[in-house]
Amino acid sequence: AIRPEYFPRFILIPAIATLALAFARMALALTQARNIGQERLLARTDELTGLPNRRRLVTEIDSFIEKEGALLLLDLDGFKPINDVHGHETGDKILQQVALRFERALPHGALLARLGGDEFGVIVLGSPDTTLEVAHALRATLSYPFTVGGNQISISVSIGHVRNDKNGDLLQRADAAMYEAKRSGVAIVEAAVYRP
């Protein structure tokens, strides 16, 4: 700018073009990095509820192994007839409202995930009594009906509860406890502490 004739034009024009291309490439790289971050977030998020998904829950279980707490698996009872009678759109709205009720009932630091269909998972920290209280609170959130499209719809939940006893098969044991709760009609089943 001070000495415009210092560099010949045949050097200056390619230099400016190179700088412009470098800035364009940097902008493109930043956009791609942002998109990759967004894709990673979406890969760990349930599209319908906005909750973390099964992949995220499994990842968190791996880092949860050294902490005191419990894994809860929840399966909605009587959900299939809602889709059959009222349609999938109503079923989706119910799932969104269930997710909202569950989130409100959980203590700070708990992780709620939708595992797929009408199944949810929760990692909650605390003593065995505290985590069982959380399970009862989650069950209580479904004690009053949902209103969707002028219809009053009631559902309940079966919960499998497994304390973190440092054994790595928490998900499998919580799943077995949840199916036992569903089969037996008992709302909450606590898995036995693992003893090798």
118 is catalytic: yes
Distance CA 69, CA 137 (A): 16
CB 94 within 8 A of CB 155: yes
CB 78 within 8 A of CB 91: no
**Strand, coil or helix: 67:** coil
Of the candidates 46, 118, 129, 175, the residue annotated as catalytic is: 118
Q: Which residues contact 76 (CB under 8 A, 6 or more apart)?
A: 98, 118, 119, 142, 155, 156, 157
Percentages helix, strand, coil for the chain, rounded to the nearest 5?
50, 20, 30
Distance CA 12, CA 151 (A): 73
Query: Which residues have a catalytic role annotated?
Result: 118
